[in-house]
């Protein structure tokens, strides 16, 4: 029996599209809804209480759209809201921290893992807890690099500006002796060209949570027998296939940035507006 209901995915901006793309790759038959909360971008500097409220409102809205599962494709929002969301909503809610943490614990060879995240994610301590839950013998270094999310959203992920922001933090990570780096923000995989330049010939395993999160979503869908069950057409599945895009502000900016960063067109975003209980579609959008 197939379940054609969509999977909901959200983030504060374009970063969560790294997770959406991997879900599309691993589960090409599934319908997807992606929401970018650009009105409240970025989440990183906000308080956990504020981010929790924003995230719960978005999940409430996505649940109201009859999604069968919601992915919090934002590390800051995962840290702030995942546990509460799982208590509050009947549908499965998946975060991005545990999959990335488990992958890093499996990847390290010297038991020294660095996490590069936003200030909000670092302050939560969730990555440290998740990595040491996977292996209590691992030492964890939590690092923050200023403005990386804004650099990605500005379209400067593959520029000297990104290199300059990454260089001092990577020097600290190498000085500490890490052999594995977790990209603790879904925007950061878009910095891979800059990371490769700054890392150079030095050895560092780089882990991001997009593929591991998508794999977890795939397992949850299979175990609960809620897959779409359709045979996809051959070949790569573009973003636009079976995907709806929602934004809370700046739809033109989102469309331009996303197309530039991912090299393919997306469906035109539909503008939505926050309300106290969830989100409603703006009149005339």
Query: Got the DSSP string for 155-166?
Result: T-TTSHHHHHHH
Mean pLDDT computed over 148-160: 91
Q: 7-95+211-281 has which CATH code? A: 3.40.50.1860
Instruction: Confirm whether 7-95+211-281 and 97-208 share one CATH topology.
Output: yes
Q: For position 279, what pLDDT does the model report? A: 45
* 273 within 8 A of 250, measured Cβ to Cβ: no
pTM for the whole structure = 0.88
Measured between alpha carbons, how far is residue 118 from residues 85, 99, 137, 166 in Å?
21, 18, 24, 13
In the set 69, 74, 105, 140, the catalytic residue is 74
Q: Which CATH class is domain 97-208?
A: alpha beta
pLDDT (tens digit per residue) in 189-240: 999 999 999 999 999 999 988 989 999 999 999 999 999 986 666 556 666 6
**Domain layout of the chain by residue ranges:** 7-95+211-281, 97-208
Q: Is 185 a catalytic residue?
A: yes
DSSP-based three-state secondary structure for 118: coil
pLDDT reading at 99 higher than 60? yes
User: Nearest-CA neighbor of 49 among 10, 84, 14, 74?
Assistant: 84
Q: For position 281, what pLDDT does the model report? A: 44
What are the residues facing 10 on neighbouring strands? Answer: 35, 72
Mean pLDDT computed over 9-16: 94
In the set 93, 145, 185, 190, the catalytic residue is 185
SS (H, E, C) 164-223: HHHHHHHHHHHHHCCCEEEEECCCHHHHHHHHHHHHCCCCCEEEECHHHHHHHHHHHHHH
Q: Is 74 a catalytic residue?
A: yes
Residue 275 pLDDT class (50, 70, 90 cuts): low
Q: For position 44, what pLDDT does the model report? A: 85
pLDDT (tens digit per residue) in 68-94: 999 999 999 999 999 999 999 999 999
Percent of the chain past pLDDT 90, that is, above it, reads: 75
């Amino acid at each position: 029996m197939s379940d054609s209901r969509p999977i909901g995915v959200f983030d504060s901006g374009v970063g969560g599209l790294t997770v959406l793309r991997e879900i599309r790759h691993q589960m090409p038959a599934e319908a997807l809804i992606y929401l970018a909360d650009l009105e409240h971008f970025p989440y990183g500097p906000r308080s956990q209480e504020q981010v929790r409220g924003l995230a719960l409102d978005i999940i409430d809205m996505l649940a109201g759209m009859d999604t069968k599962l919601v992915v919090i494709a934002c590390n800051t929002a995962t840290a702030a809201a995942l546990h509460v969301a799982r208590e509050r909503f009947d549908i499965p809610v998946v975060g991005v921290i545990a999959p990335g943490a488990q992958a890093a614990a499996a990847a390290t060879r010297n038991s020294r893992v660095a996490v590069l995240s936003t200030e909000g994610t670092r302050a939560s301590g969730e990555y440290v807890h998740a990595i040491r839950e996977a292996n209590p013998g691992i030492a964890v270094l939590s690092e923050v690099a200023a403005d990386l999310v804004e650099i990605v959203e500005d379209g400067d992920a593959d520029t000297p500006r990104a290199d300059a922001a990454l260089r001092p933090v990577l020097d600290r990570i190498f000085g500490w002796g890490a052999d594995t780096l977790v990209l603790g923000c879904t925007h950061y995989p878009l910095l891979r060209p800059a990371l490769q330049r700054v890392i150079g010939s030095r050895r560092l395993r780089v882990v991001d949570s997009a593929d591991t999160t998508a794999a977890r979503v795939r397992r949850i869908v299979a175990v609960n027998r809620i897959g779409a069950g359709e045979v996809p057409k051959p070949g790569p599945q573009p973003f636009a296939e079976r995907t709806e895009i929602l934004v809370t502000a700046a739809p033109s900016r989102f469309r331009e940035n996303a197309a530039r960063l991912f090299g393919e067109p997306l469906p035109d975003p539909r503008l939505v507006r926050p309300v106290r209980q969830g989100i409603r579609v703006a009149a005339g959008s």
